[in-house]
Amino acid sequence: MSDGRQLYQEVIMDHNKKPRNYGVLADANRRAEGHNPLCGDHISLALRLDDDLIREIAFQGETCAICKASASMMTTNVKGKSVADAETLIQEFRDMATGKLDTATQAHHLGRLNVFAGVRELPTRVKCAVLPWHTLHAAFHEESSATTESGEF
Amino acid sequence: MTSVSLHKQAATALDVDKVRADFPILMRRVHDLPLVYLDNAASSQMPQPVIERWVRYQQSEHANVHRAVHALSEIATREYEGARDKVARFINAHESREVIFTRGTTEGINLVMHGFGRAFIKQGDEIILSALEHHSNIVPWQMLCEEKGARLRIIPMNDAGELLLDEYEKLFNAHTRFVTLAHVSNALGTVNPVRGMIHTAHQHGVPVLLDGAQAAPHMAVDVQELDCDFYTFSGHKMCGPTGIGVLYGKAQWLEKMQPYQGGGDMILNVTFEKTTYNAIPYKFEAGTPPIAAAIALGVAIDYLNGIGMGAIAQHEQALLSYATTQLRQVKGVRIIGTAQEKAAVLSFTLEGIHPHDAGTLLDMEGIAIRAGHHCAQPVMQRFGVPATARASFAFYNTFAEVDALIAGIHKVQKVFA
């Protein structure tokens, strides 16, 4: 089975059907919207930071399965972590998705997120996987919105 | 099975197996599976005679056109102008000088926006276009409106994707200066009743541009019978190469319009004080044109004529009808665009599955469709969807490929089940 199909069948379906941390966060103190104008994907991300710690995080949106699964797994992975640790994951996730980080041979902190390495087989879908991470980065930096078309990938 | 009987019916008009043998790319495999190419509305494939003509031109005939007195330049000029004559006959233009070669439909529209719009449209004027236009027939006119203080008036459509003609007629007033309209919708497949709509516009003394990108490859187009003022289409959607397109315009308009770009070939005489522009069509063809692409487009037209636009339309309609029937039987499918008159474009959504996921999973089966907004975001908004999946057919597609698409969709649904 190709990594691409495995990506769909194993992870995405689970998180697509039962996305974790899906919904609104009433006491959020950071928010950002993420857009992929090419396919219409849109996610809203809300988090509550206590000092430097991600206490709560939630997302909502109208997205494809890859984006939703990526957002779902992102929330479970960064919840309880410091902003600095989350930024490390953001960088490593982007590098993995774009092929700059080979998780098979290089050290990383991605753990289960490593399954998204399969998205490299689907170059047209890399942006779908990265959008939630891009949005999280925007939320940390108090930017209200993120787009896949800003040329930062 | 229905497919078999339908296939036999269609075979009487068009021998698909024989046609397919002309397209080398259709023999290739994708992800180790036979390619099922259903993205023809985006770009069609090129048959061997067109490929060979391109190569022969570059191998033995190339030089610049309209310039030198040497043999190669004469050959290149003759072949390039011969391609213009073929285009003129293909759309039944009154004269070859009414045919301008462009880079494609988008450039054709921009040429009219600049040459006609910038010259004749003023503050307070109105331009009518429809709710189902491609971005390329919206954005240039928006740019013009911003520049001139003019405004767009939009013809609405019903839930089937058909334009509301009563509403169209109500849009005309003393400020209406121009109508620009898709002949066939790329996102919905709707064939607009353009002949009557042009007649209406002319009753108000308003000229009409038709975006024929999705029509010219699929049906016989007669610009004199339509009586359109402008008609534009692309070579790469009708078995020709990319980088070549056509703008037809009535000579009376083209002569009044200002040039689109300045440069060589579009002038008769240049001094630092004054330039005299060349006659049409050359006034609109500044610089060295895409010579090989134009000649190859001429051969693509020969190829389509060899099969017959009637036979092409008949086969594609049979494919559309079969695909629509089969797709309707799939649970959770919503077909977007159900006009009475349609070209072979099938836009749809699958309940609970984003079109991009469907597109990716179908690609893994070797099936190429388009997923997205199809450069028609207002159409997506009208139907309340972020995107659709779109299968679009050409005369070289088969009923077996429709079956492969349906089987592929069932597989996609299984992944999401």
- Which residue range(s) make up the domain with A9? 3-145
For chain B, the average pLDDT equals: 95
Q: Look up residue B301 and give its two tokens.
A: 């037209």
Q: Which pairing describes strands B126-130 and B151-155: parallel, antiparallel, or unpaired?
A: parallel
Q: What is the pLDDT of residue B182?
A: 98
Q: What is the pLDDT of residue A38?
A: 76
Level-2 CATH architecture, domain B51-306: 3-Layer(aba) Sandwich (3.40)
Judge whether B170 and B126 are in contact, CB under 8 Å. no
Residues of B in Cβ contact (< 8 Å) with A122: 360
Percentage of chain B exceeding pLDDT 90: 92
The answer to whether A8 faces chain B, any CB pair under 8 Å, is yes
The answer to whether A69 faces chain B, any CB pair under 8 Å, is no
**CB-CB under 8 Å, A40 with B387:** yes
Task: Find out whether the peptide bond into B156 is cis, omega within 30 degrees of 0.
Answer: no
Judge whether B129 and B137 are in contact, CB under 8 Å. yes
The residues of chain A scoring below 70 in pLDDT are 1-4, 150-153
Judge whether A153 lies within some domain. no
Give strand ranges (E) for A70-147: 145-147
Q: Which pairing describes strands B99-102 and B126-130: parallel, antiparallel, or unpaired?
A: unpaired
Nearest by CB: A8 against B371, B387, B415: B415
Neighbours of A95 (CB within 10 A): 16
Judge whether A16 lies within some domain. yes
Q: Which fold has domain B2-30+308-416?
A: Aspartate Aminotransferase, domain 1 (3.90.1150)
Q: What is the pLDDT of residue B9?
A: 47
Nearest by CB: B357 against A40, A42, A66: A66
Which pLDDT band, with edges at 50, 70 and 90, does B331 fall under? very high
Domain holding A88: CATH number?
3.90.1010.10
Judge whether B181 and B330 are in contact, CB under 8 Å. no
Judge whether A151 lies within some domain. no
Judge whether B118 and B145 are in contact, CB under 8 Å. no
Judge whether A114 lies within some domain. yes
**CB-CB under 8 Å, A42 with B372:** no
pLDDT above 60 for B12: no
Residue range B170-193: mean pLDDT, rounded? 98
Nearest by CB: B360 against A13, A40, A122: A122
Global pTM value: 0.92
Total structural domains within chain A: 1
Q: What is the pLDDT of residue A2?
A: 64
Which pLDDT band, with edges at 50, 70 and 90, does B139 fall under? very high
In a 13 Å sphere around the CA of B256, the CA atoms on its Cβ side amount to 11
Contacts of A140 (CB under 8 A, 6+ apart): A30, A83, A86, A87
The answer to whether B416 faces chain A, any CB pair under 8 Å, is yes
Residue entry with tokens 């006034």: B283
DSSP B353-410: B-HHHHHHHHHTTTEE-EEE-TT-HHHHHHHT-S-EEEEE--TT--HHHHHHHHHHHH
Q: Which residue of the set B145, B228, B239, B375 is catalytic?
A: B375
Residue range B359-374: mean pLDDT, rounded? 94
**CB-CB under 8 Å, A8 with B356:** no
Q: In whole angstroms, give the CA distance from residue B180 to residue B230.
A: 9
| Residue scoring higher pLDDT (B244 or A12) | B244
Contacts of A20 (CB under 8 A, 6+ apart): A72, A73, A75, A76
pLDDT above 90 for B314: yes
**CB-CB under 8 Å, B353 with A62:** no
ipTM of the complex model: 0.85
| Residue scoring higher pLDDT (A40 or B373) | B373
The answer to whether A4 faces chain B, any CB pair under 8 Å, is yes
- CA B82 to chain CA centroid, Å, is 22
- Residue B375 bears catalytic tag: yes
SS (H, E, C) B181-244: EECECCCCCEECCHHHHHHHHHHCCCCEEEECCCCCCCCCCCHHHHCCCEEEEECCCCCCCCCC
The length of chain B is: 417
DSSP A117-139: GGGGG-GGGHHHHHHHHHHHHHH
Q: Which of residues 88-147 of A touch B (CB under 8 A)?
A: 122, 124-125, 128
Classify B260 as helix, strand or coil.
coil
Spell out the domain ranges in chain B. Answer: 2-30+308-416, 51-306
Residue range B156-174: mean pLDDT, rounded? 98
Max avg pLDDT among A115-119, B3-7, B105-109? B105-109
The answer to whether B350 faces chain A, any CB pair under 8 Å, is no
Judge whether B285 and B101 are in contact, CB under 8 Å. yes
Q: In whole angstroms, give the CA distance from residue B368 to residue B128.
A: 35
Q: Which residues make beta-bridge pairs with B371?
A: B389
pLDDT above 80 for B186: yes
Residue range B68-94: mean pLDDT, rounded? 96
Judge whether A152 lies within some domain. no
Contacts of B174 (CB under 8 A, 6+ apart): none
Residues of B in Cβ contact (< 8 Å) with A2: 31, 364
Percentage of chain B exceeding pLDDT 70: 97
Judge whether A92 lies within some domain. yes
